[in-house]
């Protein structure tokens, strides 16, 4: 979602400067690739690029081709074969051992359902969505329909499909992607050349940090780099103060008991309890256990968490096994963290793994592909 936000900002600037642009999207990968389908960048006619479709090896050639797309105002599918070490067609030996299909489409804002319009709808609400991109890899002369349809989590549709006969089938695939929280690539039945990239776009992670001490600054900064929505809550107005935090971070001065109704929790919400105040953290834990958020991290030793849970049980709050499994204490992956910056890295890494359904072992121990499930 962060990349889409950056593309929107870049396009708004280009539009203000009266510059045309093209959207470049990885739509299909065969074998290995640095970026997966859904990686994007915006190319403006003055040569500026926002986003990335590779580790830097494809961007130069993609820039030249995208500028031609802007000039011709016609979509184009480009295929890069990085599996051949001796192939110097794009000037470098990539060594990724994969075939990457990249769709380039001119942005025509007067056209209803254009990609920028769909991106704006995605970012206007905090919800997951499914984006549909239609393309042809076999027929070089086929019309590339491109990024054309959006299904929002609330069930509303935006955009235009090229033919009504496709609506029911693609709509069913989009609803399935939303339910399973998983992207897919489909071949359109009855059409030899048409493919559909059904892309699941999860809502950005919402991070709630309890505590506004100096040690949370690196965590707030790191969450911002990842494109997360961050809220800091503290009972001290001197600490939860805008003068101490970067722009874009929501600050709330409140007791834990007054939080319900103030903050919206969902399956993409994570919390880190870092006030260094036992009573406040315990009260926060009590409130958060009533929600369904999948990650509740507690800074401090395990005996601190054990004591809190025991006291909550004695106070009449039963703590189920399911609730215990959502508590991460001590918080963070074991990476030998000591400083505030290192602890922030350990916490954000663990949250990312939790939200992605991963356990976090080293990639060197995987015998399957990087993006495969352990």
Give pLDDT tens digits for 165-218.
667 888 889 999 999 999 999 987 766 678 889 999 999 999 999 999 999 999
For the chain, the domain total comes to 2
Q: What was the pLDDT predicted at 163? A: 58
Q: What was the pLDDT predicted at 88? A: 46
Top-confidence residue, 362 or 291: 291
Same domain, 305 and 241: yes
Q: Is residue 196, in this structure, part of any structural domain at all?
A: yes
Q: Average pLDDT in the 236-241 region?
A: 94
Question: Which of these ranges, 29-38, 40-49, 68-77, has the smallest mean pLDDT?
Answer: 29-38
Average pLDDT, the chain: 89
What residues make up the domain containing 30? 2-201
- At 346, the pLDDT band (50, 70, 90 cuts) reads very high
What's CA 87's distance to the chain center, in Å? 33
Top-confidence residue, 89 or 237: 237
CATH of the domain at 275: 3.40.50.720
At residue 5, does pLDDT exceed 90?
Answer: yes
Q: Is residue 373, in this structure, part of any structural domain at all?
A: no
Q: Is residue 370, in this structure, part of any structural domain at all?
A: no
Provide the whole-model pTM.
0.86
- DSSP SS3 for 342: helix
Same domain, 117 and 256: no
Same domain, 37 and 18: yes
Q: Average pLDDT in the 68-91 region?
A: 78
Same domain, 150 and 210: no
Q: How far is CA 125 from CA 89, 204, 263, 317, in A?
A: 43, 10, 15, 34
Give the span between the Cα atoms of 288 and 282, in whole angstroms. 10
Q: Is residue 367, in this structure, part of any structural domain at all?
A: no
Same domain, 157 and 177: yes
């Amino acid at each position: 979602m962060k990349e889409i936000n950056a593309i929107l900002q870049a396009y708004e600037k280009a539009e203000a400067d009266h510059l045309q642009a093209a959207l470049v999207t990885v739509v299909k990968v065969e074998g290995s690739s640095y970026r997966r389908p859904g990686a994007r960048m915006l190319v403006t006619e003055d040569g500026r690029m926002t986003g990335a479709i590779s580790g830097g090896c494809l961007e130069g050639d993609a820039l030249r081709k995208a500028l031609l797309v802007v000039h011709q105002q016609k979509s184009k599918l480009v295929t890069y074969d990085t599996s051949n070490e001796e192939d110097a067609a794009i000037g470098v030996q990539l060594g990724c051992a994969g075939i990457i299909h990249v769709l380039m489409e001119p942005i025509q804002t007067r056209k209803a359902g254009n990609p920028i319009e769909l991106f704006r709808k995605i970012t206007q609400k905090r919800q997951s969505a499914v984006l549909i991109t239609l393309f042809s890899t076999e027929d070089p002369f086929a019309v590339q329909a491109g990024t054309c349809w959006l299904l929002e989590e609330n069930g509303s549709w935006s955009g235009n499909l090229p033919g009504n006969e496709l609506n029911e089938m693609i709509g069913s695939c989009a609803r399935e992607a939303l339910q399973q929280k998983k992207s897919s690539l489909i071949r359109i039945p009855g059409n030899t050349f048409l493919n559909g990239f059904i892309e699941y776009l999860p809502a950005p992670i919402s991070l709630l940090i309890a505590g506004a001490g100096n040690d949370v600054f690196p965590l707030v900064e790191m969450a911002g780099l990842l494109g997360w929505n961050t809220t800091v809550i503290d009972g001290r107005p001197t600490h939860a103060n805008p003068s101490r935090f970067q722009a874009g971070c929501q600050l709330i001065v409140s007791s834990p008991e007054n939080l319900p109704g103030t903050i919206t929790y969902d399956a993409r919400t994570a919390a880190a309890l870092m006030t260094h105040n036992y009573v406040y953290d315990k009260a926060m834990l009590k409130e958060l256990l009533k929600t369904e958020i999948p990650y509740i991290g507690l800074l401090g030793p395990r005996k601190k968490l054990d004591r809190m849970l025991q006291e909550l049980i004695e106070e009449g709050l039963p703590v189920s096994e399911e609730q215990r499994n959502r508590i991460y204490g001590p918080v963070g992956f074991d990476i030998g963290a000591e400083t505030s910056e290192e602890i922030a890295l350990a916490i954000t890494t663990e949250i990312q793994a939790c939200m992605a359904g991963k356990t976090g072992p080293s990639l060197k121990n995987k015998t399957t592909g990087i993006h495969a499930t352990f």
